[in-house]
Amino acid sequence: MQTGKVLVLGDDTRSFLAAVRSLGRAGLTVHAAPANFRSPSLASRYIAAIHDIPPWMGDGSAWLAAMRTLLGAERYDLVIPCNETTLLPLARHRAELAPLARLAIPEDAAIDALFDKQATRALAERLGIPIAPGRALRAGENAEDVIAELGAPVLVKPRHSYTLERLATRGKVQVAGEARQLAAILARAKPGATLLEGFFPGSGLGVSVLASRGRVLQAFEHHRVHEEAGSSYYRVSAPLAPDLLAACGAIMAALDYTGLAMFEFRRDAAGRFVLLEVNARPWGSMPLPVALGVDFPYRWYRLLVAGEETGSVSYRTGVYGRNLMPDLRSLRATLQDPGLGTAVRARLAATWALRLFRPLAGREVHDVMVRDDPRPALAEVAEVGREVAVRLGRLVPGSEQRHARRLVATLRQAGGAHQPGGARIVFVCQGNICRSPFAASLLRSLLDRAVPAGGRVEVGSAGMMPAPDRPSPPEAIAEAAARGIDLASHRSAWLSRAEADAATLLVVFDEINRAALLDRHPGVAAKVLGLGNLAGIGAIADPWGRGPEAYRRAYDAITRAVDALAAQLQR
């Protein structure tokens, strides 16, 4: 058994949980730094401690200070980021943090080549590795000309899934099947940050590797069975294809790469393939190779910490890996497609159900449910149960309004509504640029009018998106000004744990807000209020990016609900 200590950054039930289990089974002490503190993965028996690190935002100073403090106190052997939102800050601050712990991140040259899709395409082309037809977007592109050149459908891709300056939002691949749709996408796309790519028909597959100084030590191939939005929740192990392995080896050698990487390919019926992209970090399908004895995370640890280059091991092929809950949600979304006939739905459901018997034959493993660490799967089931209970509770007429009134009554009884500074209400939305600053300003003005000598309750606003210091959009400023509210000087703020804990009441606008708030701060559930519930209007949708009419509707609803809240507070 190995002794040592590792910090794993992340919280998902795929790469993060696989890494935690691999390292924990080897006897290492594993600590976690998640973004979602309700994640079922955090129930793993192999996590010895959980740390709260703020997301990287602004100039990164708060994140860097927290990381320095944690690494200095704990003396980890290795820090493993499981996603780009944690890897990119480590890369930016490599010089400051590397003296405190080894960082499991690629060298800067590899990051430049593999985290930029255009650079990856250029590298593959130089090495003679097939890629789909495509190029960078040019200014003033005509949709018809693009389709004539690349064919339809056209994939419009961001060059970077994430950038350090935009860690709060992931760049998404968009598919345009005809010219009008493509024209709408191109109108919003930025030429310097966008790629156009022709669609290559075929099946998705991946080759995962562990490399040392450009040499592939271990490889594993999987094929996607179903996939949705770029993710595969059901896949199968497959024999290594020599042509794909050679392509991976050429890129690893060209970059003198050390570490883990997963290469995404697509192969057609004629056997031709193209390279799609390279994930130079732990990847979502990692639980399958780990379950089959290809222990990528622990061997990565041994390579980086002890310099040990382990030899290649064989693995069973034809074994399926499933992430059950996301796969169920994907099935539900498919079955709800109005274009499917009854017979097709029945066949899909029956096929999916029959596959559930594969574990009995030893031909399927689950990402989350494993014998030696069952608690994450139980937590996942409990989470679904809570969601069902909440939805059933909302079916009771008036339940949401009664709950909202009880929260406000509790605030009054505590004295907050009668004593200046005695309580604090914080409006929380996603970005803190549209809904929450308007609602906070409106409530503040109503309370100030009622008590000119200094308000009965302190009112603020914040967002869950770690993107501070952004102004409100012009549509928000104009619509708010028409109602006597000035948002011109507003700048967004992120809801810190200290502010969430100190608030007497946290007011959200929809279930996306509520979920994001409770993911980060699960302990504040008892003081979260849905604003629209006070007026019986339910969720108030985010108007961002939807035009002036959406702002008018949203601000009408907010005004009605804030009026109801002010009346309750002044009662």
For the record, the structure tokens of 441 come out as 């300003």
Q: Is the dihedral of CA 326, 327, 328, 333 positive or negative?
A: positive
**Angle at the Cα of 278 (from 86 to 164), degrees rounded to 5?**
30
Cα 263 to Cα 118: distance, rounded to the nearest angstrom = 15
Percent helix, strand, coil in the chain, to 5, is 45, 20, 35
Cα 102 to Cα 48: distance, rounded to the nearest angstrom = 20
Question: What are all long-range contacts of 111-115, with beta carbons under 8 Å and residues at least 24 apart?
Answer: 111/280, 113/255, 114/255, 114/261, 114/278, 114/280, 115/84, 115/88, 115/160, 115/161, 115/280
Q: Are 76 and 5 in contact (CB under 8 A)?
A: yes
**How would DSSP label each residue in 437-493?**
HHHHHHHHHHHHHH-TTT-SSEEEEEESSS--SPBPPHHHHHHHHTTT---TT-B--
Q: Are 503 and 512 in contact (CB under 8 A)?
A: no
Sorted by sequence, the CB contacts under 8 Å of residue 498 that are 6+ apart come out as: none
For the record, the structure tokens of 225 come out as 């069975």
Catalytic amino acids? 429, 435, 542
Residue 201 neighbours by CB distance under 10 Å:
10
Q: Per DSSP, what are the bridge partners of residue 265?
A: 205, 275
Residue 230 neighbours by CB distance under 10 Å:
14
Residue 385 neighbours by CB distance under 10 Å:
10
Q: Is the peptide bond before 153 cis (omega within 30 degrees of 0)?
A: yes
Cα 87 to Cα 90: distance, rounded to the nearest angstrom = 5
Beta strands in 38-176 (DSSP E): 47-50, 78-81, 102-103, 134-136, 154-158, 174-176
- From residue 361, alpha-carbon distances to 143, 175, 226, 319, 350 in Å are 51, 39, 21, 10, 18
Q: Are 260 and 217 in contact (CB under 8 A)?
A: no
